């Protein structure tokens, strides 16, 4: 990988390329577990994990929150004389960060990368100009685009929804924005295109036509899919479930809801889930649950890697630090076949009061180490087969005989009921939950 940022202004001076130093290192700017070229289960760590940096949190967000103004000062914005120049400086800062960190991928919204213009045409022009520069930097650095998306939640025009807006004109503007964002994604060789519907929901049911809004959403997704496929896009489309916030209720509530929606509207061949830990939790689910649920339906795609705080009821988007959670996540992902077009995108932000430039690095390092450690543990779980062997054995009565006949659909209720004539001790078999939990812990502590 070329040292991209030479010749440009260095926006993170004093920070060198992050390297692996092992679990005992006390260098906060070194990896303890993530060793990109190390092979785990026959594949390099970096190819398993496919880390991506989120453009919005890392280079656009400014530390403001509903009760406080910006705390994060961005030198890449400060030294520019126009919004477009600022956008290019931000691009420099981003690629400097990607390469110093050693991330293979990034993700962006259209408006993260280039400023909105005074018309859709100008917005498109702005975006495509920066995309051209991003393409050069991708080539120079080897960093690639995991997926692109369109920001259809920030602007006031989307306050009542984008694809689900009650005004047709806004739906048309959304379509225009999606088309451009798809074009940008294709131009940058993006491996996916994501929909997160922050305003696709409602603030009040009293003014909402649920059926019409969901039909419109499906229509737009269908049209977007057809457009991109028509342009030769081979990547995956993702829906990112989230139950609420900013809307009171969002249509892409959780994996099950989205699965039902995709199947109902015939979109389940082209769309997969982009699953976020924090969103899972807000919907009342463990991250592991959402991953396993998507995988069990063949709809797992990619991950927005972060964590929430179960004591806080909003999207805190913290960097992942729970090794138990990352181990179970990687266990689900590996068993689902690993990432193909997807990856681990850090949809995570440093805290408002983390104002040192190094904090952004340390936060990503912590997250990457958490998933690297999780990967190692998960591979061991798979290799020794204790967990999966237990599960397989638990359902063995359906592998042959009457159980297998039942499973294949070859029985009527009468026939099946006729087999259930003696109570005996049926069903009184321990689930061994505590043992399995201890086993998971042991993998983690023996990295």
Supply φ then ψ for residue 187, to 5 degrees. -60, -35
Residues 410-439 that bind its own copies (CB under 8 A): 411-414, 416-424, 426-438
Cβ atoms 279, 230 nearer than 8 A: no
> What is the Cα–Cα distance from 322 to 367, expressed in whole angstroms?
9
Instruction: Considering only residues 351 through 390, tell me which ones interact with its own copies, judged by CB under 8 A.
Output: 351-356, 359, 362-363, 365-366, 369-370, 373, 387, 390
Minimum distance between the CB of residue 346 and its own copies, rounded to whole angstroms? 12
Nearer residue to its own copies within complex by CB, 7 or 433 = 433
| Residue 1 binds its own copies, judged by CB under 8 A | no
The only residue of 8, 77, 141, 257 in contact with its own copies, by rule CB under 8 A = 257
Residue 119 makes contact with its own copies by CB under 8 A: yes
| Distance of alpha carbon 260 from alpha carbon 314, whole angstroms | 25
Q: Is 220 helix (H, G, I), strand (E, B) or coil?
A: helix
Q: Which residue has the tokens 């070194």?
A: 30
Is 279 flagged in the annotation as binding? Answer: yes
Closer Cβ to its own copies, 132 or 419, answer by number: 419
- The yes-or-no answer on residue 112 being catalytic is yes
**How many residues of this chain bind its own copies (CB under 8 A)?**
164
Q: Is 2 in the site for its own copies (CB under 8 A)?
A: no
Report the length, in residues, of the chain.
447
276 known member of a binding site: yes
To 10 degrees, the CA torsion angle through 236, 239, 240, 241? -150
Catalytic site includes residue 109: yes
Nearer to its own copies, 4 or 253 (CB): 253
Instruction: Give yes or no for a contact between 58 and 360, defined as CB atoms under 8 angstroms apart.
Output: yes
Site for its own copies in 278-297 (CB under 8 A): 281-286, 288-289, 292-293, 296-297
- Residue 315 annotated as binding site: yes
Query: Mask: binding to its own copies, 21-50, rule CB under 8 A, as x and -?
Result: --xx-x-x---xx-----------------
| 167 annotated ligand binder | no
**CB nearer its own copies, residue 137 or residue 289:** 289
Tokens in use for 294?
A: 């998507």
Q: Are strands 39-40 and 43-44 parallel, antiparallel or unpaired?
A: antiparallel
Q: CA-CA distances (angstroms) from residue 391 to 329, 334, 385?
A: 18, 17, 10
Selected catalytic residue, list 35, 112, 183, 369 = 112
* Cα separation, 90 vs 169, whole angstroms: 32
State how far the Cα of 329 lies from the Cα of 327, in Å rounded to an integer. Answer: 5
Distance (Å, whole) CA 345 – CA 103: 10
Among 131, 173, 305, 333, binds its own copies (CB under 8 A): 173
CA-to-CA distance for 99 and 91, rounded, in angstroms?
12
**Residue 47 annotated as part of some ligand binding site:** no
CA distance 129 to 7: 21
Q: Which of these, 368, 370, 391, 369, lies nearest to 439 by C-alpha position? A: 391
Query: In the complex with its own copies, which residue's Cβ is closer, 142 or 266?
Result: 266
197-226 binders of its own copies (CB under 8 A): 198-199, 203-212, 214-216, 219, 222-224, 226
Contact letters (x/-) for its own copies, 126-165, by CB under 8 A?
---------------------------xxxxxxxx----x
Q: Is 436 exposed, middle or buried (0-12, 13-18, 19+ CB in 10 A)?
A: middle
Number of Cβ atoms within 10 Å of the Cβ of 86: 18
The response to whether 96 counts as a known ligand-binding position is: no
| Given 309, 337, 385, 389, the residue binding its own copies (CB under 8 A) | 309
Cβ closest to its own copies, residue 9 vs residue 321: 321
Q: Report the distance separating Cα 299 and Cα 142, nearest Å.
A: 29
Residue 215 annotated as binding site: no
Q: How far is the CB of 139 from its own copies (least distance, A)?
A: 29
Stretch that binds its own copies, among 11-19, 91-99, 137-145, 242-250 (CB under 8 A): 242-250
Stretch that binds its own copies, among 37-45, 98-106, 134-142, 170-178 (CB under 8 A): 170-178
Residues making up the binding site: 240, 276, 279, 304, 315, 317, 347
Catalytic residues: 109, 112
């Amino acid at each position: 990988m070329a040292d991209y940022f030479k010749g440009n202004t260095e926006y993170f001076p004093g920070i060198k390329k992050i390297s692996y130093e092992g679990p005992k290192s006390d260098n906060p700017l070194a990896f303890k577990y993530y060793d990109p070229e190390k092979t785990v289960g026959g594949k390099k760590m970096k190819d398993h994990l496919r880390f991506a940096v989120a453009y919005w949190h890392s280079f656009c967000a400014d530390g403001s929150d509903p009760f406080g103004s910006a705390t994060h000062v961005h030198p890449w914005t400060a030294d520019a004389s126009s919004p477009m120049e600022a956008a290019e400086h931000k691009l420099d800062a981003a690629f400097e960060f990607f390469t110093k960190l050693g991330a293979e991928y990034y993700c962006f919204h259209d408006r993260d990368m280039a400023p909105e213009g005074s018309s859709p045409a100008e917005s498109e022009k702005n975006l495509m100009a920066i995309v051209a520069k991003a393409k050069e930097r991708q080539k120079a650095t080897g960093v690639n685009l995991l997926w692109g998306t369109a920001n259809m939640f920030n602007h006031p025009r989307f306050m009542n929804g984008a694809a689900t807006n009650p005004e047709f004109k806004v739906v048309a503007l959304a379509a225009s924005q999606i088309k451009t964002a798809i074009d940008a994604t294709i131009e940058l060789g993006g491996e996916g295109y994501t929909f997160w519907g922050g305003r696709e929901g409602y603030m009040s049911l009293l003014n909402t036509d649920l059926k019409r809004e969901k039909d419109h959403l499906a229509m737009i997704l269908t049209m977007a899919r057809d457009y991109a496929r028509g342009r030769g896009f081979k990547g995956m489309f993702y829906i990112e479930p989230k139950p609420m916030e900013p809307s009171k209720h969002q249509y892409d509530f959780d994996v099950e809801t989205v699965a039902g929606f995709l199947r109902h509207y015939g979109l389940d061949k082209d769309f997969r889930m982009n699953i976020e830990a924090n969103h899972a939790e807000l919907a009342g689910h463990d991250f592991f649950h959402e991953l396993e649920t998507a995988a069990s339906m063949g709809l797992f795609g990619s991950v927005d890697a972060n964590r929430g705080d179960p004591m806080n009821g909003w999207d805190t988007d913290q960097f992942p630090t729970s090794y138990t959670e990352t181990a179970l996540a990687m266990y689900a992902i590996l068993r689902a076949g690993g990432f193909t077009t997807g990856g681990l995108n850090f949809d995570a932000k440093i805290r408002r009061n983390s104002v040192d430039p190094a904090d952004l690095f340390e936060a990503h390092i912590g997250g990457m180490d958490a998933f690297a450690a999780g990967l190692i543990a998960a591979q061991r779980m798979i290799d020794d087969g204790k967990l999966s062997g237990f599960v397989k054995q638990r359902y063995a009565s359906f592998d042959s005989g009457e159980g297998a006949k039942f499973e294949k659909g070859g029985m009527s209720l009468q026939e099946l009921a006729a087999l259930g004539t003696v109570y005996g001790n049926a069903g009184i078999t321990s689930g061994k939950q505590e043992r399995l939990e201890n086993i998971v812990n042991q993998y983690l502590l023996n990295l």
